[in-house]
Amino acid sequence: MLYTYVVFGLKLRVNFPLPGLDPDKNDETGDADVEVRLRDRHPADSAVNLSEKLAFTSSITADSGEPMLRVWKIADDTVFCLDYFDGMKFWVDRDGKSVWADWSGTLTTEDAATYLLGPVLGLVLRLRGFTCLHASAVAVKDSAIAFVGEEGAGKSTTAAAMARRGYAVISDDIVALKKEHDVYVVVPAYPYLCLWQNSVEALYGTEKELPRFSENWDKRMLSLRRNAIKFADSPLPLAAIFLLGERTADDHRACRETIPPQEALFAFVANSYATSLLEISARAREFHVFGELAGSIPVLRLRRHQDLEHIDRICDEVLKGWRGVVGAHCTL
């Protein structure tokens, strides 16, 4: 049986159900944008000497000391092979139209879905021409605001805090951008947020229980539908970007400041998604996009208190910042 899902505006045809997503019942026929075959290895994988095709090695290592991820190019450089430290393995064709996955050990379909809807689809989006930031995004009025930052900066937590106030979630972890009528829009991702347990407790209290994505991963799935949280299921124009900066222990309100375009450009480059595997021409196009964003969209740095109990202050500053640079004449 095949299942059809719409994620990041792409129609995925998958041979296993994906947890956290509802199949698209409106279009179960026709061509898919991406064909995904789980528990199916790419036929060219065993016919090459991988040591000669290494394209990327993650600088982040597992407890064992080995890289979290290695990427090879196989089949005459037409396929990327993503080999994770825990035994999860993906193959993505250069056009971003086909994905294969297989795994070993105690890993599960839930683990495969976690990788697929995160870094693997991030690579697929890049190969298909999307510009991607390591960010989360919510809808304010009829526009999108994005929270950009490195791993652990609080992107998902900030989006969840805004969602608790009634603002619709657009995307988590990856913000995919495309240009429509000279405006960059954020494409909707999937209807859930990925949170650490301490964020769940800070937002909802210790009595709130959320399921893990899998038994092998500690992060929790905040289903938007099950928790009566809004999901923006249509692309929205990007109106402002907040860079989540260093946390502070000072007992003051969160601090925000508008940053100049050149600094914003460097921040975008530092927080782009899956750039290392792009060809030079694609990197050049990305740099051009970031230059346009830095020159046309307000970018603010937000420094937050390190204690998550102050999360409401962050939301206050986000909304004040939004009003100051975008919605001065709007009522939220």
Q: What is the pLDDT of residues 116-144, one digit of tens each?
A: 999 999 999 999 999 999 999 999 999 99
Decide if 85 contacts 67 (C-beta within 8 A). yes
For residue 46, give the DSSP letter. Answer: G
Q: What is the percent of the chain where pLDDT is above 70?
A: 90
pLDDT at 310: 73
Q: pLDDT band at 278, cuts 50/70/90?
A: confident
The whole-angstrom separation of Cα 251 and Cα 268 is 29
Instruction: Give the residue-averaged pLDDT of 299-326.
Output: 81
Burial class (CB in 10 A: 0-12, 13-18, 19+), 98: middle
Q: How many CA atoms lie within 13 A of 305 on its CB side?
A: 16
- Cα R_g (the chain), whole angstroms: 20
Better pLDDT: 252 or 168: 168
Decide if 18 contacts 116 (C-beta within 8 A). yes
pLDDT digits (tens, 9 = 90+) for 89-99: 999 999 999 99
AA identity, residue 149: G
Better pLDDT: 200 or 256: 200
pLDDT at 124: 97
User: Is residue 238's pLDDT more than 50?
Assistant: yes
In order of 18, 101, 154, 191, 214, the CA distances from 112 in angstroms are 9, 7, 24, 18, 10
At the top level of CATH, which class does the domain 131-325 belong to? alpha beta
Q: pLDDT band at 29, cuts 50/70/90?
A: low
Residue with tokens 């899902």: 5
Give which of 193, 200, 244 is closest to 221, Cα–Cα. 193
The whole-angstrom separation of Cα 40 and Cα 281 is 32
Q: pLDDT band at 253, cuts 50/70/90?
A: low
In the chain, where the domains are located: 3-127, 131-325
The token duo for 80 is: 């990327």
Better pLDDT: 25 or 52: 25
Q: What is the percent of the chain where pLDDT is above 90?
A: 64
pLDDT digits (tens, 9 = 90+) for 10-25: 999 999 999 889 888 7
The residues facing 72 across adjacent strands are 54, 81
Better pLDDT: 257 or 186: 186
User: Is residue 327's pLDDT more than 90?
Assistant: no
The whole-angstrom separation of Cα 12 and Cα 223 is 20
Decide if 99 contacts 37 (C-beta within 8 A). yes
Give which of 16, 9, 3, 189 is closest to 101, Cα–Cα. 16
pLDDT digits (tens, 9 = 90+) for 149-170: 888 888 999 999 999 999 999 9
The whole-angstrom separation of Cα 83 and Cα 85 is 7
The whole-angstrom separation of Cα 176 and Cα 136 is 10
pLDDT, the chain, mean? 89
The token duo for 298 is: 């307000």
